[in-house]
Amino acid sequence: MKIDIHVHTAASPDSALTLEDVAAAAAKAGLFACAVCDRDGYTLPASRKIAGVLLLPGCEFTVGNGSVLALFCDREPDLSLTMGGSVPSVRTVADEIHRCGGLAVGVPSADKNAPFFTADELSCLDALETRCAHREAVAPRAFERAGYEASARGLCALGGSGACFAGEVGAAVTLLVGEAPRSAVQSGRCRPAALRRFARRYFRRSELLEAKARRDYLSIPVLWLCYVWARFVDFIRSR
């Protein structure tokens, strides 16, 4: 059974997907479920089944050295932790996720120069995302270390695409062994898998908007071409 634990919708700044788009892409990829983890937002209040795919509620909290996914929560976490541009600590976020009955999953940063989670931060996490197709292409060493730390510390290793485009959904997944998603993750009866590799560079739509705002006329044509190419690749993969 395959699930993608890390998918974005239009509620995130670099995606335009609807829940229906996510479900359709997941069904095409042969997934059982997807966790909708928008950045600092709880888009899906409860589990829903669309096009035969179970959509699970989740959230991605931004922290200083990456992010923390909130999975399988009984209720919505306190999103005010990241309001006003504030960056909470990993422990603060993990404690809030646990208070809501969920699991805290650490995701390394896409910034190659960002520090990895400290030993104290790792101690309050339930799992690590060791395969994230959207970020792994630009920060492979961070995810290699995530795999090592998960193994050394007995943390569950998970896989998710971090998808912002339909063609990315299911690029990396978590393989479950005959159980409900939450119980399989808690019992460790799962493993990450990368099913396909991203050909395009990691690109955020916000990069283009930021270049326009600062009138960086040299960067705008390059970023625009990257954006068009990303959408073209997504269109080809979704066919």
CA gap 100, 98 in Å, rounded: 5
Which pTM value belongs to this model?
0.81
- The reply to whether 178 and 216 lie within a common domain is no
- The reply to whether 185 and 222 lie within a common domain is no
Q: Is residue 143 part of a domain?
A: yes
Structural domain count, the chain: 2
Which CATH number fits the domain that encloses residue 149? 3.20.20.140
- Look up tokens 């978590």; give the residue: 174
- The reply to whether 74 and 103 lie within a common domain is yes
What dihedral angle (degrees, nearest 10) is formed by the CA atoms of 94, 96, 97, 98?
90
- The reply to whether 65 and 102 lie within a common domain is yes
Mean pLDDT of each 10-residue bin along the chain, 239 residues long: 94 89 93 94 91 94 92 92 84 96 94 88 95 82 92 93 88 86 87 68 52 64 71 62
Cβ 22 vs Cβ 55: under 8 Å: yes
What 59-64 contacts at long range (C-beta under 8 Å, 24+ apart), as own/partner pairs, is 60/6, 60/8, 60/12, 60/107, 61/88, 61/93, 62/87, 63/87, 63/88, 63/89, 63/90, 63/93, 64/89, 64/90
Cβ 114 vs Cβ 66: under 8 Å: yes
The predicted structure's pLDDT at residue 230? 66
- The reply to whether 59 and 97 lie within a common domain is yes
Q: Which of 63, 50, 49, 57 is nearest to 77 (CA)?
A: 57
- The reply to whether 21 and 116 lie within a common domain is yes
The predicted structure's pLDDT at residue 97? 96
Handedness of CA 226, 231, 237, 239 (dihedral sign): negative
Q: Is residue 63 part of a domain?
A: yes
- The reply to whether 189 and 165 lie within a common domain is yes
Half-sphere exposure of 144 (CA within 13 A, CB side): 6
- The reply to whether 187 and 210 lie within a common domain is no
- The reply to whether 138 and 232 lie within a common domain is no
CA gap 101, 238 in Å, rounded: 35
Domain that holds residue 34: 2-194
Q: Which residues pair with 191 in a beta bridge?
A: 175
- The reply to whether 68 and 177 lie within a common domain is yes
**Chain centre to alpha carbon of residue 129:** 8
